[in-house]
Amino acid sequence: MSSSKFLLLSVFASFSLLKLALAFDNTRFDNKPLAFYCEDDAIDVFPVAFVNTFFGPGGVPSMNLANICNTVDNTTFPGTNLPNCASVGNDIKTCQAKGKIVTLSLGGAGGAVGFSSDSQGETFADTIWNVFLGGSSATRPFGSAVLDGVDLDIEGGSSTGYAAFVNRIRSHASGASKKYFITAAPQCPFPDASLGGVLNAASFDAVYVQFCKKPYLCFDWPLKIILSADIPPKDWDFGLWDDWARQTSPNKNVKIYVGAPASSTAAGSGYQDISTLTKIAVQMRKSFPSFGGVMLWDASQAYVNGRYDLAVKNALSAAGGTGFTYPACSAPAFAAGTNYQGGSQVSFGGYIWQAKFFASSTPSNSPNGEWSAISACSGTGTAPTSVPTSSPTSPPTSGSCAGIAAWSSGEVYTGGQQATFNGHLWTAKWWTEGDTPGGEMLPCGERNVEKEARVDPPREVKQVCLTA
């Protein structure tokens, strides 16, 4: 995400279901003042983005709110690179008076951010508290306006110090007269590369998962799965996040948002038209108790894209703004020892699962597992039915990999290409790079059921299995 944002649907304090995140995009120059986006009920949360330098001149951060306020067009506090954005402070108060939550987003793509130690993270938390939140400072860009919390949009670098930062903000906020919110915007492959450990170590109120980020294209393909159910799920990992939220997160009430581009111009890939995105959002809202809402990047683009934000908000409101009713575990109970075809659904452990490909293991929330949790559910499932089984073709016991190169982490493999690894032959299931054989590359003898399922009529792909 580039610069400033406004959230779409949300679930804070009351955790009612509808908030929209909004940001000023500093690569764009047609942002309206913040108060403009607060005029109706569509957007509930505004993470204003970004503080893009943590330690600038004078030991204070710098920020870029695009055309709304920046270090080039606006005055900076003496000895610093921090712009004075007094008029934004008035807008913040206007929005807060309408019940909106306005937070400060730290990071963004290409931000000069990060810490070398926990104590540096704590020092920075003190600075943020004094400059933007409940403390006091001679250099407050928004004057007497007090923001409602912080959002970590950390897209690179080390995770050192972030948990200490969050814990320090929490300790400042613990005695305060109002509630402060701490959120994060990780990317969708779970766990997040930059923030994974931080999310497990500190308490967050909401997580805006950027389901749209490259290179995983998580938004492009898996959604079709959910909508048409004709392709087994692979990358759509809301189930992993739901399990993380309810089992692992220090805050078991943390809410997960579907983060999405608000327009085809807002991200390199992953944009979905309004009807697709609203279907997804409503489906997630009905399927997972941790669902909090939708976060869109960004407000200015949502507004000019036919009020994309309002369409999402209306769809979620119509689906029931608050509360969660567990759907029944309508799929047959998982039966150990059964061989399930890709696409099969089972009930197990409070979820309905779908086999990503040929599956025989017990369903579990693991990024590389055979199953994907597609909905939380209540009950134990219907009686197991006899599932048509199919065993992997039995591998030949001998063979040779002469002429086939060793697998290399830097090499791109497209579906069907082969490499040797650990004394075995592996075949790429689809485009893959840097995935150690075992995940995106099939071992010898295992069939690419997912790919076969898309061939009509289904045909068995016999794989010659060799040993290096």
Ligand X SMILES: *[C@@H]1O[C@H](CO)[C@@H](O)[C@H](O)[C@H]1NC(C)=O
Residue with tokens 């309002």: 310
Q: Which residue lies nearer to ligand X by CB, 24 or 334?
A: 24
Q: Which residues bind ligand X (CB under 6 A)?
A: 69, 73-74, 85, 87-88
CB of 71 to ligand X, least distance (A): 10
Q: Which residue lies nearer to ligand X by CB, 145 or 376?
A: 145
Separation CA 389–CA 310 (nearest Å): 46
Separation CA 41–CA 57 (nearest Å): 39
Q: Report the half-sphere exposure of 267 (CA within 13 A, side-chain side).
A: 26
Q: Which residue lies nearer to ligand X by CB, 75 or 366?
A: 75
CB of 5 to ligand X, least distance (A): 17
Q: Is 155 a catalytic residue?
A: yes
Q: Which residue lies nearer to ligand X by CB, 68 or 315?
A: 68
Residue 395's nearest CA partner among 442, 430, 440, 449 is 442
Q: Which residue lies nearer to ligand X by CB, 87 or 417?
A: 87
Neighbour-count burial of 247, counting CB atoms closer than 10 A to its CB (0-12 exposed, 13-18 middle, 19+ buried): exposed
CB of 139 to ligand X, least distance (A): 15
| DSSP result, 54-106 | SS-GGG--EE--GGGS-TTTS-B-TTSS-B--HHHHHHHHHHHHTT-EEEEEE
CB of 113 to ligand X, least distance (A): 23
| DSSP result, 152-195 | EE--SS--TTHHHHHHHHHHHHTT-SS--EEEE--BSSSSPTTT
Q: Which residue lies nearer to ligand X by CB, 88 or 466?
A: 88
**Which of these is catalytic: 39, 122, 155, 411?**
155
CB of 60 to ligand X, least distance (A): 17
Q: Report the half-sphere exposure of 31 (CA within 13 A, side-chain side).
A: 29
Which DSSP letter does residue 36 get? G
Whether the CA torsion 172, 174, 176, 178 is positive or negative: it is: positive
CB of 263 to ligand X, least distance (A): 23
For the chain, the first-to-last Cα distance in angstroms comes to 45
Residue 124 CA, distance from chain mean position: 25
* Encoded tokens for 96: 């807060």
Catalytic sites, residue numbers: 155
